[in-house]
Chains A and B, each alone.
Chain A
Amino acid sequence: MFWRKKGKDANGEVKMFFASDLHGSNVCFKKFVNSAKFYSADVLVLGGDLTGKAVIPIAEQAAGTFLAFQHGEQVKISGKDELDEFVKRQGNIGFYPAVMPESEYQRLKADPEEQAALFKRLVLERVREWAEFAAGKLKGTEIPLVALPGNDDFEEIDEILTQAAHFDFHEMQVCEFKGGYQMLYCGGSTPTPWDTEREYTEEQYVKRFAELLPQVGNMSRCIFNVHVPPFGTALDACPKLDKNLQVVYEMGLPAQVHAGCQTLIDIIKEHQPLLGLHGHIHEGRAKINIGKTICINPGSVYPEGILQGALITLRDGQVTQANLMQG
């Protein structure tokens, strides 16, 4: 959205585009990769939660038609064109369509373990597809795509993305970053009501940061790429859920809680890194200051096919531009 036309690199300027929580949406990932050219970014930063949440079985019926589920309704699909269109649409909103005979659907429906295996296979297939797409689009450029895992991401994606061309995937590391900066990578999140793949208690976060912080050379030139946002801020406010994952209402209104990381905000207050990049709480779209540190959560509305992100310009150890955008 905000595009500096001149003066890049020549004066040590680095422009990065940051997005998070794409959750399997093909259209959002393609937009993310294409944003490098669109916004003239030097680096693409992906803040975790690449993987999606639902498989949509498309069950072939005896008459050659297909039954599936969309927008809360069962849909009947006829013909190859309709099927291809339906499959594409599901991928774009972050779902994993799986065409199968009705009998196979009925078998899977009764077998949670088989469902989980199918899920993981489809998730990993899409991660590979994304890696290939990024490699194709960014080939010949010097634009890295850096990423870390979110709390929803299976451990198995690490190996795929670590080996992928043009993906610069890290977890629990402090690495050199373009322009003489450093990036601290810390994925996962604090515990959630969903008991997701990568969750850590506050005590574990204390240990994780104790491992990472000594690797930072100069905190004023360090970017924290930490999936979970700092606790008690505009970046981590979300509705409170009960044990059945239903929104808790108080006086007829949804109760709000903060779901971020206390350890993180304590560390940011104490060490004052240059910048904090966060995700996890899709509702927490905001840019705030914690002392001198600018912290950003671009939020996520991936099911709508709209990519929310932040375009950030660094120059001479300062954040000269940090703009939330939608594209």
Chain B
Amino acid sequence: MSVTDIGADKRIFLRKASGLIRTAGLGDTFIYNLGVVSIGLGVGSMLYYGPAFYPQGNLIWGCVIAGIAMAMISFGFITWTITLPRSGGIYVFGSRILPPALAFTMSLVEITAWLFYCAIAAYWMVILALAPMFAALNLLTGNETFLTISKTMLEPWATFLIGAAILLVSQVVLSYGMRFYLTLNKWVFILAMASTVFLIVVLAMSTREQFVTNLNELIGPSLGVPDAYNSIIASGKEKGWGEAGTDLWQTILMSNWPFLPLIGAAFSIAIGGEIKSVGKSQTVGMLGAVLVATVAWIITVWLAYKVFGFEFLGTAVFNVLTANGGLTTPTDPSVALLTGILTKSPLITVLTSLGLALWMWMLIPAMHTFGVRAVVAWAFDRVAPAPLATISEKYHTPIVAITATTVVNLIFMALFVFTPWFSKIVILIEAAVLAWSVVLGAGMFFPYLRPQLYEKSPIAGKTVFGLPIMTVGCFLGFIAAQFYFWTLFFDPNAAGHDPTQVMIVAGVFVLGLAFYYVMKMIRRSQGIDVTLAFKEIPIE
């Protein structure tokens, strides 16, 4: 059977009949994904951690590597979501091919990681955007109140309370419904995107000399050195920051930082059931988000290196993160603080800082939504307590699931602030990438193991080198996901694999399996067979 698109002659007779209207178009899908990627969070985290941890790494090539890998993963998920265009993400995909316990476990592992990401974003909003903004305002205005605010925000209880308040705002937004959330999201997206463009313009119009002069003027007196810029670099090198250079392995490890936010580019698999023209919308929505974010990062990184200098970025953060007593800025040298110093403008400082905060905010309700949808799906399938699927009569939203996931977010927030486990728990993201690779790996075999389902897919007839396109797409996605699982595994700065961390990863998988089997037993005692939730009713 051959296919041609002749457009005009649509050989179909329609009658007047009501039906399902899918509401999200190509533009919505693209914005949703780009919002979850959070360009600002990527800029903030990769400029903060990249030069500090990987002196021989090339961040621009790191962005390229991460972008290619995420495009491969997106390709795999595009074939999945075209074949099963339903909301629910990997839980929907896994439940159609994996054993029920494994499908549920993959979903639980993934959702745990995304809820963890919500707490990370709230935490970073405080320490990478808001606190540096007040510190910069202190430097620029000399008003000590700003410094007091900044230092207070970095106190554990204050950080927790502000972060918790941000997470509770997400709870309120989602409780009012998707329409309210999406309306808010579009405005936040416009403002955040404008702030990124503004940051790029500011960096493009500035010079290294300008930054050095301003830094020396503003920071020098408090550090007691006339040339604060070069003193910080010298101090960092003396304390152990490696010499700059080029090393492929460090570049690969460095690419973890752009890869982590790029994960958001595939999040529209969570709303697959609400997207019209699913093939075109998902393809452009996912790959477009990868491309735009990667290009924006490459431009911003290049400009930031030009203005701030790679060695300065690396040593200033290195001295903070290793707490080695070396010279650095008064508070965390985030891009928000450095832009404030560069421009010496309180207004620009506030605008760039709030822009960064808005990008981080976009991640929170998006990840939160992902978790809520999965929890509701589990409750529908009776592998989680039924009240989790309860819909609010007033707001028509799953208020119990939203609240339950907010509680998990708050627990993660408390763990970051009050315990030294942050660097241990970050391994959860590695576990989520592993879960993705399992579902993508299973997708390679879907056309062969579930031919009745696959034959209904619009891509069923498409082949590459004689193989079903889904097999090829999921193979590429599997390879890329595995690549980043191991890259994260061998990177102690981004994730790692010390014994505690390995136990955490194993523990989450065991927790998922245990949860499934306990629920299965409970339901069996109630006369309910939950395995039927994962089976297709026979046709003949």
- Seen from chain A, the residues whose Cβ lies within 8 Å of a Cβ on chain B are 1-7, 23, 27, 30-31, 34-35, 38-39, 49, 51-57, 59, 67-78, 82, 86, 89, 92-93, 105, 108, 115-116, 118-119, 151-152, 189, 192-196, 233-234, 237-239, 241, 247, 251-254, 256, 280, 282-283, 286-290, 300-301, 303-307, 321, 323-325, 327
A and B contact pairs by CB, cutoff 8 A, 19 listed: A38-B538, A52-B17, A53-B17, A59-B11, A72-B5, A74-B3, A76-B4, A108-B13, A119-B13, A119-B15, A196-B18, A253-B186, A282-B20, A289-B393, A290-B393, A304-B456, A306-B86, A321-B528, A325-B381
**A74 touching B528, Cβ below 8 Å:** no
With an 8 A cutoff between CB atoms, is B419 at the interface?
Answer: no
Taking A71-B458, A92-B456, A305-B456 as known contacts, 7 extra A-B pairs with beta carbons closer than 8 A to each other, sorted by chain A number, are A38-B537, A82-B1, A119-B15, A193-B18, A194-B17, A300-B20, A324-B380
Closest to B186 in A: A252
Contact of B453 among A75, A251, A253, A305 (CB under 8 A): A305
**B537 touching A327, Cβ below 8 Å:** yes
**B1 touching A86, Cβ below 8 Å:** yes
Interface string of B496-540 (1 = CB under 8 A from A): 000000000000000000000000000100011110110111111
CA distance A28 to B15 in the complex (A): 21
Closest 8 CB pairs of A and B: A282-B20, A327-B537, A4-B527, A69-B11, A234-B396, A53-B17, A31-B537, A254-B23
**A1 touching B86, Cβ below 8 Å:** no
With an 8 A cutoff between CB atoms, is B55 at the interface?
Answer: no
With an 8 A cutoff between CB atoms, is B37 at the interface?
Answer: no
Contact of A253 among B3, B21, B183, B528 (CB under 8 A): B183
**B536 touching A69, Cβ below 8 Å:** no
Q: Which residues in A have their C-beta under 8 angstroms from that of B183?
A: 251, 253
| Chain A at the B interface: SS class | mixed
Q: Which residues in B have their C-beta under 8 angstroms from that of A89?
A: 455-456
**A6 touching B3, Cβ below 8 Å:** no
**B19 touching A282, Cβ below 8 Å:** yes
- B residues 10-42 with Cβ under 8 Å of A? 10-21, 23
- B residues 62-106 with Cβ under 8 Å of A? 84-86
| Number of residues on chain B facing chain A (CB within 8 A) | 54
**B14 touching A53, Cβ below 8 Å:** yes
Q: Which residues in B have their C-beta under 8 angstroms from that of A323?
A: 380, 382, 386
CA distance A306 to B1 in the complex (A): 25
Q: Which residues in A have their C-beta under 8 angstroms from that of B389?
A: 287, 324
With an 8 A cutoff between CB atoms, is B6 at the interface?
Answer: yes
B414: min CB distance to chain A, Å:
33
Closest to A238 in B: B21
Q: A1-B382, A73-B5, A304-B84 are in contact. Are A53 and B19 (CB under 8 A)?
A: yes
CA distance A39 to B5 in the complex (A): 43
Closest to B187 in A: A251
**A287 touching B391, Cβ below 8 Å:** yes
Q: A75-B1, A301-B86 are in contact. Are A253 and B179 (CB under 8 A)?
A: yes
CA distance A282 to B179 in the complex (A): 18
Contact of B539 among A31, A39, A152, A241 (CB under 8 A): A31
- B residues 240-277 with Cβ under 8 Å of A? 273, 277
**A196 touching B539, Cβ below 8 Å:** no
CA distance A93 to B458 in the complex (A): 12
Closest to B190 in A: A252
Contact of B9 among A39, A52, A74, A237 (CB under 8 A): A74
**B533 touching A1, Cβ below 8 Å:** yes
Of B14, B386, B458, B527, most buried by chain A (CB within 10 Å of CB) is B527
**B11 touching A116, Cβ below 8 Å:** no
Contact of A23 among B4, B19, B84, B179 (CB under 8 A): B19
CA distance A93 to B386 in the complex (A): 31
